[in-house]
Structure 1
């Protein structure tokens, strides 16, 4: 049996001693073995070429079409063909073709991440994934707004209700609050996105899973640098070095991004560093050590806009933002280790990580309110330490029909915040750190055992899993002027999922999936009890959901994949805003919600020079019973705020030569409601178009490249994102008009 080195593009004799594997594919651990059937099966690079991803599912009308599609051997993918490779490890923990998985999962590959993109925000890459809504707030103090089938749409800052991972290391805290900025796109090899019932196997607060995998250093050592500039004072400087061989590799990367911001008072500077060493201690194991950091000092926060202010001047800033100089500083570092060992037919995987995060944020709560408040204040100041790990065993079972693999594991995560709050004034000076108003230690801990099974039996594939998911929140209050707010709350629940797929033909697969999940409140949502009472809201319950999904995955010819899914999500005890007054937002459990939708993804290599892709989502998200919040009745049938009814992304890429690539992107979003009563002005629908091109030249050991990019070609004025339920009516965040970017870089490879 041959062993294929996907990076060198040739069989690798040094790996041939592990004869049961015929292909090696990158994860965060380095290479991962993929079993192939037949010694002479044609092999191909796991991530070779652009477009190595699968979109979601096809309507039932394609059932008949599948019988007309030509049958083709799944394992044979000749190098240079127009086949769209897409191996993923999210959900299964071992490489599997996304076409063979009975749930919605996509992989965005490096060419799509880097070809004509700036490498700054996840919105550049993930808008092409159906089911996701990724909105760039143009506010680096609050991060992106990301939702999956409606999960996470209410988050006022950061990402909530979705599980974020980077090389297996959580970028989300155990209570479900995540930060997309910690995912470094400059080093990403691919990003996998899991949606629907199967995501519940990742435990609480996993309405969807977004996982980034960094690339391994490989080949002769090289160094490179690139710079880009653009509208509104944008600039980015990037420096990197990498190299390696079959036994070890390294990658070192550093970048600085500066922007004045589209809106007033929205300047930001972001410094990111990344280092990775991957090596093989012996023939049956591999290890990766990973360090990353993020630093943002004094990032300005323009706050939201009222509708009148947005219409009058899209670049406007709330007066309170300048009065109190609203801003945020972040200092984040983390270190992780991934280890994998093959023991007979089984695989042992170990992940360990630790880090720290410091945040200081100046809010715009009026001085009169802060003076009368007994807890909180207008300055948030915390130091977070976090650590955790995963122990996983993957065991194929012999002596049973078909192929049956069991996976058992244990995940442990903890974050501990030394949290302080201060007045945001001192005397008559505003926007500075004043008297202490809060002093506590908040600890969130999760310990989740789980068991999964994957069974391939003739034309059937079954995936099942169950996790005993937990989250403990403990508060130790040291600020006793207003009494002792100490306390704790424990959340426990089983989160099972079951999926089944049937192969109607080799090129048409249909599946059904069901799962139960739950979403615990975050520390920020528990911070204040409703009304005038002081202390944490330990009475807040988790939101529980049941998800259903049916779908089809089809291959048309060798260069087109069409995926579609119908889904329904029924939730109880949805977490919504109870009141937002005097700078304090408290939350409550609402009644039932209902989300029904359809996803369609198409990706096609039209020819050697042309590629096209499309991602469409239709989502009807409503409250399914009346409830009262803040003294107002929210009627059954009202739309959930922050969730567009329709989203469409399309892309056409032309590559006339290997060293030239040009792309046209189009995006449409329907209107978005901004609060639960659906009475305030909804953010209107919009359509925007972007154009990009990239050139590359080679001269001996030197490689040069250039980038030109134009966003919002038609100079459309539109609301890019919304702040759900803002108590001041500042719901809207304007997106930039027509914007330009240019860049250039060079790379030298040592011989």
Structure 2
């Protein structure tokens, strides 16, 4: 159940203010239909509720440049699977797993870059209470359990830029620099202040260069670069950093008799690098890494009727 209210105010033509308040109540209920003398009732219910206010303001300095500031709160409950997976192996819901609460602040700008480009830049800071942290047990590899970190923090900067290149090309760049760490020590859970949160890469950048936007043949090169990433709470193991190049090219639709033909090629991991597409935080027995595929080439050929054309 929940309710949401929002109010907007524009004191001037250049200034806009938006405020919101959201109320949530989530009820988890389990009914146990297998109760015996040796198998007690594991049923029960848990109710999680929160009020989440937010406020933001934006100011348009010129038609091509604006700044904004937001302060928001958020409430995230565990999923039913996260509640059901209990480290003790007992049935029913985990009574110790709490929802996480986030207070985030963001300052940013949006503007034009030259005649055909755009630029965005944002500073962000998120303070998390009872952060949900996944982990595995050596006795149950592959099965994720969750615990709460009393305090955690995500702060950093992110930006993006794009620009057309003449009438034929487009360049786009996006990058994020983030410091995600535990802010308090929970020695019983093995979480210590100052250590990085596993699974969060400190740096990520994506670049794409496209050509042939208006021509019969198109091509695009995509580069993804990422720093090394911690994979456990102790920060004793890391996934290596990487840079991976993909390529996409093709011919635009051409009429061949009564049909239209489109052909293309996609090459993933052009340089055939070894890298991890993702990691499993706190995986049991050191099984943290999920390797990406080697160089992969895909050809496409599409043939369709020339509907609506002479």
TM-score (norm 2): 0.91
Seen in structure 2, the aligned counterparts of structure 1 residues 664 and 585 have a Cα distance that, compared at 3 Å, is closer
The answer to whether residue 2 in structure 2 is matched with residue 448 in structure 1 is: yes
- Aligned ranges 1:132-531 → 2 under 5 Å: 447-456=1-10, 457-481=12-36, 482-531=39-88
Residue aligned with 1:477, SS: coil
Pairwise CA distance, 1:471: 1.3
Out of 617, 625, 628, the residue aligned to residue 176 of structure 2 is 617
Seen in structure 2, the aligned counterparts of structure 1 residues 518 and 661 have a Cα distance that, compared at 3 Å, is same
Seen in structure 2, the aligned counterparts of structure 1 residues 608 and 487 have a Cα distance that, compared at 3 Å, is same
Greater RCO (Cα-Cα under 8 Å, separation 6 or more): 1
Pairwise CA distance, 1:711: 1.4
Pairwise CA distance, 1:554: 0.6
Asked if 2 retains the 8 angstrom alpha-carbon contact of 1:579 and 1:629, the reply is no
- Give the match for residue 730 of structure 1: 287
Pairwise CA distance, 1:629: 4.7
- Structure 1, unmatched stretches of 5+, are 1-446
Residue aligned with 1:574, SS: strand
Higher-strand-fraction structure: 2
CA RMSD of aligned residues (A): 1.9
- Aligned ranges 1:60-139 → 2 under 5 Å: none
Seen in structure 2, the aligned counterparts of structure 1 residues 688 and 478 have a Cα distance that, compared at 3 Å, is same
Seen in structure 2, the aligned counterparts of structure 1 residues 462 and 747 have a Cα distance that, compared at 3 Å, is farther
Residue aligned with 1:471, SS: strand
Pairwise CA distance, 1:712: 1.1
Seen in structure 2, the aligned counterparts of structure 1 residues 609 and 590 have a Cα distance that, compared at 3 Å, is same
Pairwise CA distance, 1:656: 6.5
Distance 2:94 2:225 in 1: 39
Deviations 1:430-488 (A, max 9, x none): xxxxxxxxxxxxxxxxx222112233331101222111122111111123352111011
Seen in structure 2, the aligned counterparts of structure 1 residues 509 and 642 have a Cα distance that, compared at 3 Å, is same
Greater shift after overlay, 475-484 or 647-656?
475-484
Pairwise CA distance, 1:617: 0.3
Distance 2:274 2:212 in 1: 31
Distance 2:26 2:198 in 1: 27
Distance 2:88 2:28 in 1: 22
Seen in structure 2, the aligned counterparts of structure 1 residues 553 and 525 have a Cα distance that, compared at 3 Å, is same
Out of 641, 649, 656, the residue aligned to residue 198 of structure 2 is 641
Distance 2:72 2:306 in 1: 49
Pairwise CA distance, 1:748: 2.0
Distance 2:182 2:59 in 1: 34
Pairwise CA distance, 1:524: 1.3
- Aligned ranges 1:692-703 → 2 under 5 Å: 692-699=248-255, 702-703=259-260
Out of 201, 208, 215, the residue aligned to residue 658 of structure 1 is 215
Asked if 2 retains the 8 angstrom alpha-carbon contact of 1:662 and 1:694, the reply is yes
Deviations 1:114-173 (A, max 9, x none): xxxxxxxxxxxxxxxxxxxxxxxxxxxxxxxxxxxxxxxxxxxxxxxxxxxxxxxxxxxx
Out of 249, 255, 264, the residue aligned to residue 707 of structure 1 is 264
Seen in structure 2, the aligned counterparts of structure 1 residues 666 and 578 have a Cα distance that, compared at 3 Å, is closer
Distance 2:29 2:187 in 1: 29
Distance 1:657 1:532 in 2: 60
Distance 1:579 1:568 in 2: 29
Asked if 2 retains the 8 angstrom alpha-carbon contact of 1:696 and 1:703, the reply is no
Distance 1:604 1:653 in 2: 11
Distance 1:514 1:598 in 2: 16
- Structure 2, unmatched stretches of 5+, are none
Asked if 2 retains the 8 angstrom alpha-carbon contact of 1:578 and 1:629, the reply is no
- Give the match for residue 608 of structure 1: 167
- Give the match for residue 128 of structure 2: 571
Residue aligned with 1:728, SS: helix
Distance 2:285 2:213 in 1: 52
Asked if 1 retains the 8 angstrom alpha-carbon contact of 2:219 and 2:249, the reply is yes
Deviations 1:239-298 (A, max 9, x none): xxxxxxxxxxxxxxxxxxxxxxxxxxxxxxxxxxxxxxxxxxxxxxxxxxxxxxxxxxxx
Pairwise CA distance, 1:532: 5.7
Out of 241, 244, 248, the residue aligned to residue 688 of structure 1 is 244
Distance 2:70 2:134 in 1: 31
The answer to whether residue 158 in structure 2 is matched with residue 599 in structure 1 is: yes
Residue aligned with 2:82, SS: helix
Asked if 2 retains the 8 angstrom alpha-carbon contact of 1:573 and 1:589, the reply is yes
Asked if 2 retains the 8 angstrom alpha-carbon contact of 1:530 and 1:578, the reply is no
TM-score (norm 1): 0.39
Aligned residues: 302
Structure 1 outlier segments of 4+, above 6 Å: none
